[in-house]
Amino acid sequence: FDWICNYGPSFVLPASNCDVLYEPSDFFKELNHIFANAKQRIYISSLYFGTDPYEYEMIDSIRTALAKDPSVRLVVLLDYLRGLRIDNHKEKTTSKSMFLSLIEQFSSQVDFYLFHTPLLHGFLRKIIPMRYNESWGVQHMKIYMADDTLIISGANLNRAYFDNRQDRYLKLNHCPDLCQFFIDIIETVGKQSFKVKLDHPEPIFLGENHPFEGDNTQYRRDVENDLTSLMKTYQTRFPKPDSLSDDQALIIPLIQMGMFNINNDRDFNIHLYSHLPQHSILYLATSYFNMTEEYAQELIDNKRQDTTIKLLTASPQANGFYGSRGMSQYVPIGYSENEREFVEKAEKKCANDGQIQMLEYFRSQWTYHAKGLWLYENGKDYPVLTCIGSPNFGARSIRRDLEAQLAILTNNETLRTKFHRERSRLFQYGTNVTGETFKQTSRIAPLWGPLFMKIFRNFF
């Protein structure tokens, strides 16, 4: 597995510093705990921040830390388009408005950034309505830090993700170097984003070249240069370790920002899929099944015959878009079509021998949002490698969004047992899907289904 270190800086932690959280309620509890007890800094990177009582409680936890010590700093990076969308129409609340009280009370301690994708600019930006404009790309990294503690997830900070939307959550304790890496990533993106200031009604752009009103090409080049330089510095400072003991874990941050020509996560996955160990089992999970042709080719066409691949995705009823309004209501149909195409291709290639299996997650009253992978070596009961973070293995994650995840390699039995338990808890709600599934009346897509996904595939 030496090749893993080619895709990011190498951080080595005691395996005992890694805690797997299993339920949304655990995630909410731990976030409140680390935020309220922060003594130096709180960093939040997410798509958006909700506007329900859960989120007001979290604001109070952050307020507790800021009020205790004027040296505590809060830095928030959200997406511009999603962060300014009105969630509560009665009270006109947005992600931005949720933090205004903190900015007012602790102005010298708070930096609030909103990243705007450079892919939406010019005439398109003027005509694409709110909510749909987010399809062009968003800030999607889910990194939550307090002092030297980091929680990485695929979950947003919203009521559903604290209640009945299943995701994955990993808490890393006492990891100052890894925290500093993500702090520098967030600050670098923040300096090329918009900042919310009390004396300005609209967020103020901080960089030299505006992402949608100025030189769009130069803006993208500026961000690419800043991030590439930063990542090279960290790879030099934290190279591949000479060895890894059984009480340690090797952690590699995988950054994916296709619009800035940063494709570490994509390249990592392609290499992994094409170099699976003999007789290994690869488990993949994604909330929105939209596998790229590149990934599908490695998983199906170039797959070793002695390996097994099992994929878990949301059933139509567990899809976050199920029952939504407007054009979004058709998205689960599109994902179902993607599944059908993938399953048919896999069955044709592998002749129904179980080498590639598709499962759909269904849990009554729950939605599904977990993603990542677990790799089991030949005959081993527990995974040696796992990846956890925000990417969905789809076209949008690769080309349009800002994504981050961690690749974690360990031979520590206790930690591997935790990852195995996590994987088992998710896959226990999975039901096998075959080509016959899509012949059922309830799964037959409308005639426009395949066309819909062909046109909009890169936007979901």
* pLDDT tens track for 151-180: 999 999 999 999 999 999 999 999 999 999
- What is the C-alpha to C-alpha distance for residues 309 and 283, in angstroms, rounded to an integer? 6
The total number of structural domains in the chain stands at 1
Is the pLDDT reported for residue 238 higher than 90? Answer: yes
Q: Is the pLDDT of residue 445 over 80?
A: no
Catalytic residue among 96, 116, 121, 142: 142
Average pLDDT for 252-275: 97
Nearest to 162 by CA among 284, 355, 25: 25
Sequence-separated (6 or more) residues with CB below 8 Å from residue 23: none
User: How many Å apart are CA 394 and CA 65, to the nearest integer?
Assistant: 38
In the chain, the percentage of residues whose pLDDT exceeds 90 is 79
Contact in structure between 421 and 20 (CB atoms under 8 Å)? yes
Tell me the per-residue pLDDT of 6-53, one tens digit each, with 9 for 90 and over. 999 999 999 999 999 999 999 999 999 999 999 999 999 999 999 999
Q: Which residues contact 217 (CB under 8 A, 6 or more apart)?
A: none
Tell whether 338 is covered by a domain: no
Is 29 among the residues known to form the active site?
no
Spatial CA neighbour of 390 closest among 291, 271, 287: 287
Separation CA 99–CA 393 (nearest Å): 32
In a domain, 460, yes or no: no
Residue 174's region, left for phi above 0, alpha for psi from -120 to 50, else beta, is: left
Instruction: Say what the pTM is.
Output: 0.96
Is residue 92 domain-resident? yes
Residue 323 predicted with pLDDT over 60: no
Cα gap 355→374, rounded to integer Å: 16
Residue 322's pLDDT is 54
Q: What is the rounded distance in angstroms from the CA atom of residue 237 to the CA atom of residue 15?
A: 21
Of 167 and 335, more confident? 167
pLDDT at 319 over 80: no
Q: What is the extent of the structural domain holding 132?
A: 2-287+369-428
Residue 325 has pLDDT above 70, yes or no: no
Q: What percent of the chain has pLDDT over 70?
A: 96
Distances (CA, A) of 71 to 2, 76, 140, 210, 300: 41, 16, 28, 32, 53
- pLDDT at position 93: 93
Is pLDDT of 407 > 90? yes
Mean of the pLDDT values across residues 228-256?
97
Q: What is the pLDDT of residues 98-122, one digit of tens each?
A: 999 999 999 999 999 999 999 999 8
- Supply the pLDDT for residue 123: 87
96, 116, 121, 140: the catalytic one is 140
Mean pLDDT of 205-213: 94
Examine residue 176 and state whether it is found in any structural domain, yes or no.
yes
Q: Would you say residue 321 has pLDDT above 70?
A: no
Evaluate if residue 459 carries a pLDDT over 90.
no
Least confident of 80-89, 95-104, 303-312, 417-426: 80-89
* Average pLDDT of the residues in 439-449: 77
Separation between Cα atoms, residue 413 and residue 415, nearest integer Å: 6
Q: How confident is the model at residue 255 (pLDDT cuts 50, 70, 90)?
A: very high
What pLDDT score does 150 carry? 98
- pLDDT value at residue 334: 78
- Say if CB 312 and CB 430 are below 8 A apart: yes
Catalytic residue (one of 147, 167, 226, 265): 147
- Whole-number pLDDT of residue 458: 75
Q: Is residue 363 in some structural domain? A: no
Kindly state the average pLDDT of the residues 236-251: 97
Is residue 283 situated within a structural domain? yes
Which of 112-116, 355-359, 394-398 bottoms out in mean pLDDT, i.e. has the lowest? 394-398
Higher pLDDT, 359 or 441: 359
| 171 in active site | no
Q: What are the beta bridge partners of residue 88?
A: 93
**Nearest to residue 318, comparing CAs of 358, 275, 278, 370?**
370
Block residue for tokens 């509560």: 88
First to last CA, the chain: 32
Whether residue 401 lies in the annotated active site: no
| Beta pairing, strands 367-368 & 372-376 | unpaired
Task: Give the whole-angstrom CA distance, residue 338 versus residue 348.
Answer: 16
Report whether pLDDT(133) > 70: yes
- CB within 8 A of 21, min separation 6: which ones? 27, 30, 151, 169, 170, 171
pLDDT over 70 (residue 262): yes
pLDDT value at position 320? 60
Q: Read off the tokens for 396.
A: 């949008």
Is 166 among the domain residues?
Answer: yes
Q: What is the mean pLDDT of the chain?
A: 93
pLDDT value at residue 177? 98
pLDDT at 42 (0 to 100): 98
CATH number at residue 39: 3.30.870.10
Q: What does the H/E/C string look like for the chain?
A: CHHHHHHCCCEEEEHHHEEEECCHHHHHHHHHHHHHCCCCEEEEECCCECCCHHHHHHHHHHHHHHHHCCCCEEEEEEEHHHHCCCCECCCCECHHHHHHHHHHHCHHHEEEEEECCCCCCHHHHHHCCCCCHHHHCCECCCEEEECCEEEEECCCECHHHHHCEECCEEEECCCHHHHHHHHHHHHHHHCCCEECCCCCCCCEECCCCCCCCCCHHHHHHHHHHHHHHHHHHHHHHCCCCCCCCCCEEEEEEEEEEHHHCEEHHHHHHHHHHHCCCCCCEEEEEECCCCECHHHHHHHHHCCCCCCEEEEEEECHHHCCCCCCCHHHHHHHHHHHHHHHHHHHHHHHHHCCCCCEEEEEECCCCCEECCCEEEEECCCCCCCCEEEEECCCCEHHHHHCCEEEEEEEEECCHHHHHHHHHHHHHHHCCEEEECHHHHHCHHHCCCCCHHHHHHHHHHHC
| pLDDT given for residue 380 in this prediction | 95
